[in-house]
């Protein structure tokens, strides 16, 4: 598409999400990894010496030779992907945006700022208009929590066609979602941990903004009741969620499967490089989806759905699996940037 690729930086490049950015950006057709940044502990070292690379693909040669910089807004790249720890992300991301950088963030800090889109390109691309009212020279765009993304991708076609009244969701979340080194092995082997700090609150609130309506100046949350219970399980990558929904209008099992199968949106129409061919994959096998088998489906950017059946309490229940550090984090953020570029939101870079 472009002759010259756009230079990008990764903040928090040594972390769990940061490493996924490095992996996914290595052959990106539009973006070129130009700089990496992390904490003072890593700054000044070569990336290969600062990072404990835990991906299954080799550490890309170009990234390996970069010197890790501090997370200060003096970088050459105007597009910065943030995989920063939430304890520091809020302030650092704001400093970058004030200095004219486009910050595409995974962190929770700015998700509920009134002028910041909480973006899933297949669902609410119109929310990007919010950045025009941001007070920054640049902009901040966030992507949702890793469990929220899979859930909302599965709910969106149902909401559009039948309307949703209530959702109950129980998650079984992968270890990579806790960052690196994350949960101690003695805590998680032979165990399930029925608590992930702030996760339930995020899952109950984020979908309301994402599925909300852009009124021309702000987002009006959608009126859906969501109850979430979140658990950490001994899976490396891929969050699994069991979901129950009560719909506003009657729908048959075949109609629900059809709206999932037929669901495509702007990223597919624009053929964005990181877009899955189909955001939702429905499996008929009675014991699917499973994280080990399905987390990498369609570039690890799709949500796998299965076991749709009637529910004696709600209307229907089903199971979903999606890749938490790709669709739920780095891949989702790169797709956000691709959409912004394609729609002309990345200016003067």
Q: Does 88 bind ligand NAP (CB under 6 A)?
A: yes
Segment contacting ligand NAP by CB under 6 A, of 10-18, 131-139, 276-284, 337-345: 10-18
**If you write DSSP's letter for every residue of 294-332 in order, what string do you get?**
HTTHHHHTSEEEEEEEE-SSSSEEEEEEE-TTIIIIIHH
- From the candidates 71, 110, 127, 146, which is the catalytic residue? 146
Segment contacting ligand NAP by CB under 6 A, of 11-19, 123-131, 271-279, 307-315: 11-19
Q: Does 112 bind ligand NAP (CB under 6 A)?
A: no
The least distance separating ligand NAP from the CB of residue 303, rounded to whole angstroms, comes to 15
Q: Does 300 bind ligand NAP (CB under 6 A)?
A: no
- In angstroms, rounded to a whole number, what is the distance separating the alpha carbons of residues 304 and 288? 8
Q: Using CB under 6 A, which of 6, 24, 34, 42 touches ligand NAP?
A: 42
Q: Exposed (0-12), middle (13-18) or buried (19+): which is 216, by Cβ within 10 Å?
A: exposed
Respond yes or no: is residue 239 known to be catalytic: yes
Query: Which residues fall within 8 angstroms of residue 54, CB to CB, at 6 or more apart?
Result: 16, 19, 180
Q: Does 17 bind ligand NAP (CB under 6 A)?
A: yes
Q: Using CB under 6 A, which of 12, 60, 150, 289 touches ligand NAP?
A: 12
- From the candidates 239, 281, 294, 323, which is the catalytic residue? 239
| Contact call for residues 211 and 224 (beta carbons, < 8 A) | yes
User: Tokens 């943030």 label which residue?
Assistant: 82
- In angstroms, rounded to a whole number, what is the distance separating the alpha carbons of residues 230 and 183? 15
Respond yes or no: is residue 294 known to be catalytic: no
**If you write DSSP's letter for every residue of 251-280 in order, what string do you get?**
--HHHHHHHHHH---HHHHTT-TT--S-SE
**Site residues (CB under 6 A) for ligand NAP, limited to 178-217:** 179-180
Helix ranges (DSSP H) in 51-193? 61-64, 86-98, 146-162, 185-188
**3-class DSSP state for residue 86?**
helix
One symbol per residue from 43 to 62: x for binding ligand NAP (CB under 6 A), - otherwise; what is it? --------------------
The least distance separating ligand NAP from the CB of residue 160, rounded to whole angstroms, comes to 25
The least distance separating ligand NAP from the CB of residue 93, rounded to whole angstroms, comes to 10
- In angstroms, rounded to a whole number, what is the distance separating the alpha carbons of residues 49 and 57? 17
- Which residues of the chain form contacts with ligand NAP (CB under 6 A)? 12-18, 38-39, 41-42, 71, 83-86, 88-89, 106-108, 146, 176-177, 179-180, 324-325, 328-329
């Amino acid at each position: 598409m472009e002759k010259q690729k756009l230079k990008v930086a990764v903040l928090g490049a040594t972390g769990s999400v940061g490493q996924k950015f490095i992996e996914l950006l290595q052959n990106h057709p539009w973006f070129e990894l130009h700089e990496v940044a992390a904490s003072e502990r890593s700054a000044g070292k070569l990336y290969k010496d600062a990072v404990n690379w835990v991906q299954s693909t080799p550490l890309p040669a170009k990234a390996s030779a970069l010197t890790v910089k501090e997370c200060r807004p003096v970088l050459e790249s105007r597009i910065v992907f943030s995989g920063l720890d939430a304890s520091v992300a809020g302030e650092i991301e704001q400093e970058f945006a004030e200095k004219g950088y486009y910050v595409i963030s995974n962190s929770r800090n700015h998700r509920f700022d009134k002028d910041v889109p909480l973006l899933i390109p297949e669902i609410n691309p119109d929310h990007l208009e919010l950045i025009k009212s941001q007070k920054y020279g640049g902009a901040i765009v966030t992507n949702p929590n890793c469990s929220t993304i899979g859930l909302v991708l599965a709910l969106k076609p149902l909401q559009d066609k039948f309307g949703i009244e209530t959702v109950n969701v129980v998650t079984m979340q992968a270890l990579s979602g806790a960052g690196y080194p994350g949960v101690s092995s003695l805590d998680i082997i032979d165990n399930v941990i029925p608590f992930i700090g702030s996760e339930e609150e995020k899952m109950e609130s984020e979908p309301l903004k994402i599925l909300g309506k852009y009124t021309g100046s702000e987002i009006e949350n959608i009126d859906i009741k969501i109850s979430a219970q979140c658990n950490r399980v001994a899976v490396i990558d891929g969050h699994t969620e069991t979901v129950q929904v009560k719909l506003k209008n009657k729908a048959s099992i075949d109609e629900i499967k059809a709206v999932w199968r037929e669901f495509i949106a702007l990223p597919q129409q624009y053929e964005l490089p990181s877009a899955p061919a189909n955001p939702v994959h429905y499996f008929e096998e009675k014991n699917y989806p499973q994280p080990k088998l399905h987390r990498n489906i369609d570039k690890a950017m799709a949500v796998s759905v299965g076991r749709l059946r009637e529910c004696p309490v709600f209307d229907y229940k089903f199971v979903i699996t999606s890749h938490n550090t790709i669709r739920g984090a780095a891949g989702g953020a790169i797709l956000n940037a691709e959409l912004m570029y394609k729609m002309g939101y990345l200016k003067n870079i």
